[in-house]
Structure 1
Amino acid sequence: MSPADLLDHYRSRCCSPQWQGFVRALCEELEQGLDEADRARLMARLGGRFAAAHPLPEAATLQALQDAANAVWSALDWGRVEFEEQPDCVLVRHCASPLAAAGGTGRPWLAAYLEGVYRAWFHAAGGAPVLDVVCTQADAGHVDSYVLCRVT
């Protein structure tokens, strides 16, 4: 069994089997009723609601904010996040989210959920209104990638 197969197995176990059928049926229904842009907007709004229900404590550094986010994710078995400061942005890599395992692969719009979570958390942490979080790659090697950057 390859490392990717092992990760698939463990990630699939993060979503309780009792919910997997429901989540997949919900995804199929959303695909029938909404176009991809609307699905992504809905998922981002849900992520914002999650972030509001799970506010992070004040953090003086990006590392402290990452640690606070990982405390939330760890308690829920939702993988792990890494923030990497770049000269003009912050890279956000969320590893081993159960979203694709629960909803099925080939649904990049599911990554908008975490986009909404991180958008809300960065704004609550004092991020400038001209900054936004955007998904750059969904479920590539069990990693969802985002960037916090200036939007025009």
Structure 2
Amino acid sequence: MTPDDLLDHYRTRSCAPQWRGFMRALCDELEHGLDEEDRARLMARLGERFAGDHPLPEVPTLDALQTAANAVWAPIEWGRAEFEEMEDRVLIRHFASPLAAAGGAGRPWLAAFLEGVYRAWFRAAGTASVLDVACTHADANHVDSFVLSRVS
């Protein structure tokens, strides 16, 4: 079994069987009823709502913010996050999210949920209004990637 096969196995188990059919049907309906931009906008709003329901404590550093985010993800088995500070941006990587397992692969708009979560958490942490979070890669090798950077 390859490492990717092993990750696929664990991710499919991350969505409880009683929810898998419902989630796939919901995603199918969203794909038939909304265009991709509207689906992504809806998922981002859901993510922002989730972040509001799971606020992070005030913390002094990016590492502490990462630790606080992972303290939310760990007990609900939603993978883990890594933040990497660059000169002009912050890279955000979310590993092993159950989104693809729950909604089905090939639906990059699902990552907009995490985009909304991280957008809300970074705004609540006090990032400048000229900064925003955007998805750069959805479910690439079991990683969703985002960047916090200046809005163009």
Q: For the superposition of Structure 1 and Structure 2, which TM-score range results when normalised by the shorter chain?
A: over 0.9
User: How far does residue 34 in structure 1 lie from its aligned partner after superposition?
Assistant: 0.1
1:1-152 pair list within 5 angstroms: 1-152=1-152
**Which amino acid in the other structure matches residue 52 of structure 1?**
G
SS at match of 1:15: coil
**Which amino acid in the other structure matches residue 129 of structure 1?**
S
d(CA) in 2 for partners of 1:65, 1:48: 17
SS at match of 1:101: helix
**Which amino acid in the other structure matches residue 117 of structure 1?**
V
SS at match of 2:121: helix
d(CA) in 2 for partners of 1:50, 1:116: 9
**Which amino acid in the other structure matches residue 97 of structure 2?**
S
User: How far does residue 44 in structure 1 lie from its aligned partner after superposition?
Assistant: 0.1
What RMSD over aligned residues (CA atoms) do the two structures have, in Å? 0.4
User: How far does residue 107 in structure 1 lie from its aligned partner after superposition?
Assistant: 0.2
Can you give the 5+ residue segments of structure 2 that lack an aligned partner in the other structure? none
User: How far does residue 2 in structure 1 lie from its aligned partner after superposition?
Assistant: 0.7
d(CA) in 2 for partners of 1:19, 1:132: 32
Give me the identity figure in percent: 75
d(CA) in 1 for partners of 2:73, 2:47: 13
Can you give the 5+ residue segments of structure 1 that lack an aligned partner in the other structure? none
Runs of 4+ in 1 over 4 A off after TM superposition: none
User: How far does residue 12 in structure 1 lie from its aligned partner after superposition?
Assistant: 1.0
SS at match of 2:93: strand
